[in-house]
Amino acid sequence: MRIPILAANWKMNLSRREAKNLVEDLLKVAFPVQQREVVICPSFHLLSEVGSLLEGKANYGLGAQNVYWKESGAFTGEVSPTMLRDCGCSHVIIGHSERRGYFHETDKDCFAKVEAALQHNLVPILCVGESLEQREAGKTKEVVLGQLQGALKGQSVSSGDKLVIAYEPIWAIGTGKTDTPEGAESTIAVLRQELGNLFGERIAQQVRLLYGGSVNAGNVDALMAQPNIDGALVGGASLKAESFARIVNYQTQASLAN
């Protein structure tokens, strides 16, 4: 069984005080959590502090939003996997479309980052997704499969639960437009099939595949009802304790029936 992951991508937001208040408020309403994992991904300057607040909180993890693949040295402005481990990180987002778009990250960079993360026991949350133009040209699957292969083909993955993929259509990020649950499911199912080609069926069935792009308290239940959607990567709605707590406590078909 794949344990769902609800991940908060805070992007370049929040002061130390705001982050502390947010985590404390969130833990009041969304802790303890069972049968799900929550990963908070703050900006670098908040990692240690948020890590301390999450210490000992079962099923809560700490993620960075980026990593460099070198161990140490003269790479001004970069942060290594060892440094992330040192701050208490368990996860790291790799290849977010904002990094690919604004900072020109390539699939080759993503490959090196995923490899470094895996070697340092950090779970990569690899993001893939198509632009509106690519979608309208009917190229969604081709684009996301290319990104998946570019970052993963040739990696050595011993266990699928050490790898997370987030499908985030670029046109849905921060726009209030979401893919339909069926549309997201269909793209994510294709990604899982490709993971099977790359790493074998056992591993493909273990990998958690998330949907991201304007996930909120109102649409999370329908997205999570899809068989291949194992969680969400949430930007805007993760900046408010109330909305993110509702996402963490999403309702399953079984809980809705009770």
Residue 226 binding ligand PGA, by CB under 6 A: no
For residue 244, the minimal CB distance to ligand PGA (Å) is 10
Q: Which of 23, 235, 245, 246 binds ligand PGA (CB under 6 A)?
A: 235
Residue 236 binding ligand PGA, by CB under 6 A: yes
* Type of residue numbered 218: G
Q: Which is nearer to ligand PGA, 168 or 185 (CB)?
A: 168
Closest CA to 127 of 162, 160, 153, 151: 151
Asked about 242 being catalytic, the answer comes back as: no
Max CA pair span of the chain? 58
Stretch that binds ligand PGA, among 106-114, 139-147, 213-221, 248-256 (CB under 6 A): 213-221
Q: Which of 168, 179, 185, 194 binds ligand PGA (CB under 6 A)?
A: 168
Stretch that binds ligand PGA, among 71-79, 133-141, 166-174, 197-205 (CB under 6 A): 166-174
**10 Å Cβ neighbour count for 18?**
13
Q: Which of 40, 46, 152, 215 binds ligand PGA (CB under 6 A)?
A: 215
For residue 85, the minimal CB distance to ligand PGA (Å) is 23
**10 Å Cβ neighbour count for 177?**
12
Beta-carbon contacts of residue 255 (< 8 Å; ≥ 6 apart): none
Q: Which residue is nearest to ligand PGA (CB)?
A: 235
Please report where in the chains the tokens 């805007």 appear, as a residue: 236
Asked about 37 being catalytic, the answer comes back as: no
Question: Would you give the binding string for ligand PGA spanning residues 115-154, x where CB under 6 A is met?
Answer: ----------------------------------------
User: Exactly one of 96, 98, 105, 120 is catalytic; which is it?
Assistant: 96
Q: Which is nearer to ligand PGA, 126 or 203 (CB)?
A: 126
Cα-Cα-Cα-Cα dihedral sign, residues 219, 165, 185, 135: positive
Cα 113 → chain centroid? 15
Question: For residues 92 and 63, is the Cβ–Cβ distance under 8 A?
Answer: yes
Cα-Cα-Cα-Cα dihedral sign, residues 115, 116, 119, 120: negative
Closest CA to 237 of 209, 256, 258, 218: 218
Question: For residues 168 and 233, is the Cβ–Cβ distance under 8 A?
Answer: yes
Residue 101 binding ligand PGA, by CB under 6 A: no
For residue 111, the minimal CB distance to ligand PGA (Å) is 20
**Rounded to whole angstroms, how far apart are CA atoms 49 and 175?**
30
Residue 233 binding ligand PGA, by CB under 6 A: yes
Bridge-partner residues for 126, per DSSP? 94, 165
Q: Which is nearer to ligand PGA, 199 or 212 (CB)?
A: 212
Catalytic residue ranges: 96, 168
Residues that bind ligand PGA (CB under 6 A): 9, 168, 173-174, 212-215, 233-237
